[in-house]
Amino acid sequence: MEHRIVALVSAAPQRDRNREIIRRLTVELKERQMKLLVFGTLSDLAGRDTNDYGEKSVFRLIPYKKLAGLIIQAGSFLDPDEAAWIISEAKAAGVPVMDLDHETTGIPSVCFDYDSAFAEMVRHVILYHGCRKIAMIAGAKGQDASAEREKTFYRICGENSIPEENIRICYGELWDWPAREAVIRMIEEKDVPEAFICMNDAMALGCIGALQEKGYSVPGDVIVTGMDGIMLAEYSEPRLTTVPADITQLCREAAEQIDTLSRGRRDEARKIRIQMKADYEGSCGCAGRSDVNAGMKLLEIDSLMSLHGNHERDMARMRHKLMDEDRYQMFEKMALYMESDSWICCNPSFWERQDAGGRRSFDYRRREPLFDQEMISARLSPSGAPEERFEETMFSREELLPGLEGLLRSRDMLLFCPLNFQQEVIGYCVFDGIGQVQKPFLFSQLCRNISMILKVVRDREQAEYVTRVLESSNRVLYDLSMHDELTGLDNRRGLMQRLEEICTTKAESGRVLSYTYLDLDSFKDINDKWGHDEGDRVLKLVADALKNVSDTYADVSVSRVGGDEFVVFGTLKDVAEGERLLAALKAEIIQLNHSMGKDYSIRCSLGQSNSENISREVARELIRKADDAMYRCKRAGKLSRREN
């Protein structure tokens, strides 16, 4: 294969900074004849809950045997153990591995020199602006990067003889709202410093908002600084003092480093720290620049928000339209919601799973197999003809994607994202090209939408399957409840149902309702002398004989209503036909005795009752009369006997 493959492993690649890294890294690797496979969770794995367990399944896909190198953004993981596991797997497979935008002990890295830049920012606030009472808004308490910045903050304050009682650290969790709340608490405690030095821009903007809301002037009353140079820092009022990051240089150095490693020159690999230069702006009291066109940026943001709103509507429409479809129609219509060619790769066991609604014990750290050996790929092509929009293929798990090597000849980057519902792993989604990545709300929400739709469709299929099984089982149980197991004839319940049907449908037919009761005489003697197996054989022979007669009539049936009791019933043309039926039954028993050639004879007593009226009351009366007639026959000894 003419190109080399590099994997980029990231938590939350949809975030602005990570998207820019993916975009620039793709360009830099292309210049070095290298292709990029991105494996990313939609979560930063901070929760370590059932959803995070399902999402991190995407890291099981990393094809170490295919890789020339692996780049991990270990700093994007709020679960450092997961990042460490990926690094150890790469090392075990002999794959060169490096850290990007972060430093991990034991592997090469390319990152910004945040510590030096942060130290310079603290010095600027103390020495240039003369602040002696300073607060730092750090990230998450106990997080490695935050702990490093805290040490630097204390060190620089100590070097400049800032009294310990004038130093304070609070935590903003790297987000604007927690930082805002921390500042408001300090204001309420009447412990407002001269300066807030924030670990990133998001927290700095939250800090400015809280101060301005409470009537403080920035920088007139309080100085505020940020750190990482996000886009919004340029448009805050006052403009935020920060330290921008040159992502292009970061990715160029990373591409060069992984290229060096992949060519076996590992002794040349090193930890590279890119120097950063602060932009001193209005939030710290410096003059700064005034070349930003805020109006154009507002138009851009407004356009982005409009696009986001349209996407939200599309996602809602997608759910409503696809959740009611069967599996194959769902995939065909799903293609219309894709920006470019995409692949939905599912575990076949996901569709076959019978315990879909069950819950199991949860262990976030377990390393059980999460993907089937054989996978199903649904390729979705939005630009193709209707019959070409969906193509399903079975492929081996080791392939990662059907025809991967061929796909990479015409593509520079593929993005792999998890498909899961909580801890249940459905599979993964593969997006084609950088265009998808540049719309963060598209691929992140799209993945979650797809996971939800797949689960709903699967659960509905399973419910329909269970319903069919139950209906089939109910039919079997119903059939068993209505029929005699030995002879296959209707039992007493079946007889009563058929009589009910006759009374309901034939009441005005002008036909005669006939009911003949047959009881075997001395049947116990056969069982006692010849055994129960022989007795069962006799019962089946009698049933067949009676059915031979009933089959010659259009509307006559036979039931076994007791151990050796049978009923022949139905509607006939007239009473005379009922008498002919009775004679035919007797003749059939006689013929049966002739054909059996046994040392015993089958003897029976018969009683018949007929009526030209058909109703439930008449049926009950006929049953009573036929029963009485049969017992009169038995008492009188009018038996059918075997003739020699």
Contact 40, 13 (CB under 8 A): yes
Q: What pLDDT, on the 0 to 100 scale, is given for residue 203?
A: 96
Concatenating the DSSP letter of every residue in 70-125 gives EEE-GGG-S-HHHHHHHHHHHHHTT--EEEESS--TTS-EEEE-HHHHHHHHHHII
Give tens-digit pLDDT for 585-615: 999 999 999 998 888 889 999 999 999 999 9
DSSP state of 605: E
* Whether this model's pTM surpasses 0.85: no
Q: What pLDDT, on the 0 to 100 scale, is given for residue 639?
A: 41
Q: Give the C-alpha distances (Å, rounded to integers) separating 43 from 22, 53, 54, 99, 564.
A: 17, 10, 10, 19, 73
| 479: nearest Cα among 462, 491, 461 | 491
Q: Give the C-alpha distances (Å, rounded to integers) separating 207 from 188, 199, 231, 475, 611.
A: 14, 11, 17, 69, 98
Give me the half-sphere count of Cα atoms (radius 13 Å) on the Cβ side of residue 341. Answer: 13
Contact 13, 25 (CB under 8 A): no
DSSP state of 127: I
| 82: nearest Cα among 111, 37, 48, 51 | 48
Q: What pLDDT, on the 0 to 100 scale, is given for residue 250?
A: 96
Distance between CA atoms of residues 231 and 17, nearest Å? 10
Q: Are strands 69-72 and 97-100 parallel, antiparallel or unpaired?
A: parallel
pLDDT < 70 regions, the chain: 1, 267-269, 288-298, 300-301, 304, 354-361, 434-442, 638-644
Q: What pLDDT, on the 0 to 100 scale, is given for residue 533?
A: 93
Q: What pLDDT, on the 0 to 100 scale, is given for residue 320?
A: 87
- Residue 173 region, left (φ>0) first, then alpha (ψ -120 to 50), else beta? left
Concatenating the DSSP letter of every residue in 269-338 gives --EEEE----B--GGGT--------HHHHHHHHHHHHHHHHHHHHHHHHHHHHHTTS-HHHHHHHHGGG-
State which H helix or E strand residue 47 sits in.
Answer: none
Contact 222, 211 (CB under 8 A): yes
Q: Where are the alpha helices (DSSP H) in 551-612?
A: 575-596
> Phi and psi of 366, rounded to 5°?
-65, 150
573, 574, 575, 581 alpha-carbon torsion, rounded to 10°: -20
Contact 559, 490 (CB under 8 A): yes
Cβ atoms within 10 Å of 271's Cβ, excluding its own: 15
Contact 195, 168 (CB under 8 A): no
Distance between CA atoms of residues 339 and 436, nearest Å? 7
Contact 345, 380 (CB under 8 A): no
Q: What pLDDT, on the 0 to 100 scale, is given for residue 643?
A: 27
Three-state secondary-structure class, residue 401: coil
* Cross-strand pairs, 561: none
Distance between CA atoms of residues 218 and 438, nearest Å? 34
